[in-house]
Amino acid sequence: MGRALITDLYELTMAASYLRRGMTASATFSLYVRALPSDRGFLVAAGIDDCLDYLEGFRFEDQDLEWLARHGFNLETVDALRDLRFSGDVEAVEEGRVVLAGEPLIEVTAPLPEAQLVETYLLNQVTFQTAVATKATRCRLAAGPIELVDFALRRTHGTEAGMAVARLSAIAGFAGTSNVEAARQLGLAASGTMAHSYVEAFPTETEAFRAFAEDLPPPHTFLVDTYDTLSGVEAAARVVADLGLTDRVAIRLDSGDVDELARAARDILDRRGLSHVRIFVSGSLDEYLLQDLASSKTPIDAAGVGTRFGTVADAPYVDSVYKLVELGGRPVMKLSPGKETLPGAKQIWRTEGRCDVLARRGEAPPGSAEGLLVPVFRGGRRLRGHSTIAQAKARLERDLSWLPAAARRIRTPEVPELVLSAALEELTASTRAAAERGVSRVHDGYSSSWRSTPR
């Protein structure tokens, strides 16, 4: 499946015009985030591998071309699209890398129509997955010793999103997921408890807990807040003691004042000699609540995070853009106020203990700096396969150690500075001057034409 029509209409109309006019010079587009969302001191790059899958399989199917022919695209354009494949080069940041606003996550260099057509899909994947990966990482940072489980599937915006969320939670360091298919496909730990409906299906909580323990293998997690939470804890404690349960046993709190109830539950369990029973909490948790619980040393062992995490409720998107920076070897830039771009293909140089340097591609690295953008496509051929979860997780952990502590703060983080190389600053100044001269010539032409019009 080529998926070429998973795009905005204007990508197709622009490509049609380019093809009609023979505008097929090599173009470089840069995909980056303009500014960080509120309360973010960094981003975690994600969705890159899905973008590469798309480029690798990019093509127009017969039914795609038939639809285009019926909707205003002439036969010359349809024929040109029939054999079109992605033939370009791509530099990209690898999955799991920490990035900052203004740093390219992907740079595409290809004939102009090809580079234009892939914009929408690349933005779609990177925007959503980067937002989720960043949220997941913030939750993990905030939770401290509390183990986290992905509970987001029933709240994500579609099951495809739910699969991506499960993978990204694992990269961030979550211990498991409630998403069984994600666990099967990705080799993750499937984690679940019971619903209130299960408890309500039995005459008493005690009977429900006993049946659950008798019918199913460990782990056993008893949901104790269906009626009265502390009475539910007492019921669970009786069942654990009566059946001698010692293998991976927990109670789950899903409502109320979590701090107060967790402390009371821990006291009940400990007084009964059940210190091995863990306390699992859930219910509208996010990094802010997790940080409060961790800093208060609330006796919680694990937490399920769902709605606010899987939908990235406080910042559900990042301001990602895909901008033309070079055409036919000529650097270009946009001058719109507040939306200016930097010209030319680029590289990000990172050195331990120093600010990132955004440079022109091909510049020598400053000292022993590492280049974040690596070649992933050459001449339309993919150079590397998917990152494993372990590989992406290792990159993330390494980059978090590079990131200043102030940038990792959950509340009021400080965004690290991004420095431009002298060569990139010089290119920006000269490209701006050339663009402004061109605008002046156009304005002068309009002005002269207007003045010469008879009154």
d(CA 266, CA 24): 68
Q: List alpha helices for 8-95, DSSP H.
A: 9-20, 48-56, 62-70, 75-82
Q: What is the DSSP string of 173-235?
A: T-SEES-HHHHHHHTPPB-----HHHHHTSSSHHHHHHHHHHHSPSPEEEE--SS-HHHHHHH
Residues 143 and 209 in one domain: yes
CA dihedral 374, 377, 382, 388 (to 10 degrees): 30
CA 183/CA 177 separation, integer angstroms: 7
| Residues 170 and 177: beta-carbon distance below 8 Å | yes
Q: Is the model's pLDDT at 256 over the cut of 50?
A: yes
> For residue 440, what pLDDT is reported?
61
Which residues touch 216 (CB under 8 Å, ≥6 apart)? none
In a domain, 299, yes or no: yes
Average predicted confidence (pLDDT) for the chain: 95
State yes or no: pLDDT of 445 exceeds 60: no
* One domain, residues 291 and 380: no
The residues near 182 (Cβ < 8 Å, ≥ 6 apart) are 153, 162, 163, 166, 167, 188
Give the pair of three-digit tokens for residue 87. Answer: 């033939």
Percentage of residues in the chain having pLDDT higher than 90: 95
Check whether residue 43 and residue 158 sit in a common domain.
Answer: no
Same domain, 289 and 145: yes
Q: Where would I find the H helices in 111-186?
A: 112-117, 119-143, 159-172, 180-186
- Which strand ranges, in their side-by-side order, compose the sheet holding 278-281? 176-177, 147-150, 302-305, 278-281, 249-253, 220-223
Quick check: is 450 in a domain?
Answer: no
Q: Same structural domain for residues 141 and 122?
A: no
> Amino acid identity of 14?
M
Question: Is residue 103 included in any domain, yes or no?
Answer: yes
Residues 190 and 209 both lie in one domain:
yes
Q: Give 437's pLDDT tier (boundaries 50, 70, 90).
A: confident
Decide: 32 and 93 in contact? Cβ < 8 Å.
Answer: no
Show the tokens assigned to 92. Answer: 């990209």
Q: What is the pLDDT confidence band of residue 79, given thresholds at 50, 70 and 90?
A: very high
Q: How much is the average pLDDT of 326-331? A: 97
Closest CA to 325 of 428, 440, 439, 433: 428
Residue 359 lies in a domain: yes
139 & 33 share domain = no
Is 444 within the bounds of a domain? Answer: no
- Domain holding 140, by residue range, is 133-310
Among 310, 329, 356, which residue terminates a domain?
Answer: 310
User: Are residue 108 and residue 24 in the same domain, yes or no?
Assistant: yes
8 Å CB contact between 179 and 153: yes
The number of CA neighbours under 13 Å toward the Cβ of 242 is: 13
- Asked whether residue 331 carries a pLDDT value surpassing 50, the answer given is yes
Strand partners, 322: 31
Residue finishing a domain among 254, 276, 310: 310
SS3 192: coil
The helix (H) or strand (E) run that includes residue 444 is helix 422-452
Domain boundary among 245, 278, 310: 310
Give the orientation angle of helix 75-82 with respect to helix 9-20, to 10 degrees: 100
- Indicate which CATH number applies to the domain containing 364: 3.20.140.10
Three-state DSSP class for residue 450: helix
What region does 144 belong to: left with phi over 0, alpha with psi -120 to 50, or beta?
left
CA distance linking residue 117 with residue 16, whole number of Å: 10
Asked, for residue 202, whether it belongs to a domain, the answer is: yes
CA distance 389 to 251: 30
Q: Where residue 438 falls among pLDDT bands split at 50, 70, 90? A: confident
Label residue 45 exposed, middle or buried (CB < 10 Å: 0-12, 13-18, 19+).
buried
CA dist 177 and 392 (Å) reads 18
User: Do residue 269 and residue 350 come from a single domain?
Assistant: no
Mean pLDDT within 75-83:
96
Does the residue 445 lie in any domain? Answer: no
> Residue 17 is encoded by which pair of tokens?
């015009």
Q: Which residue has the tokens 């004939």?
A: 111
The 10s digit of each residue's pLDDT in 108-117 is 999 999 999 9
What mean pLDDT do residues 315-321 have? Answer: 95
Please name the amino acid found at residue 419. V
Rounded CA separation 326/334 (Å)? 11
Residue 217 clears pLDDT 70, i.e. is over it: yes
Confidence check: pLDDT of 453 > 90: no
Per the structure, the count of domains in the chain is 2
Shared-domain flag, residues 54 and 149: no
CA angle (125 as vertex; 312, 176 as ends), nearest 5: 55
Specify whether 349 is located in the same domain as 231.
no
Phi-psi label, residue 97: left if phi above 0, alpha if psi -120 to 50, beta otherwise? beta
CATH at residue 305 = 3.20.20.70
Tell me if 286 is assigned to some domain: yes
Q: Does the pLDDT of residue 104 top 80, yes or no?
A: yes
- Residue closest to 277 by CA, chosen among 296, 304, 261, 301: 301
Cα separation, 92 vs 181, whole angstroms: 29
Residue with tokens 């499960």: 166
Residue 276 and residue 328 in one domain: no
Residue indicated by tokens 């000699």: 273
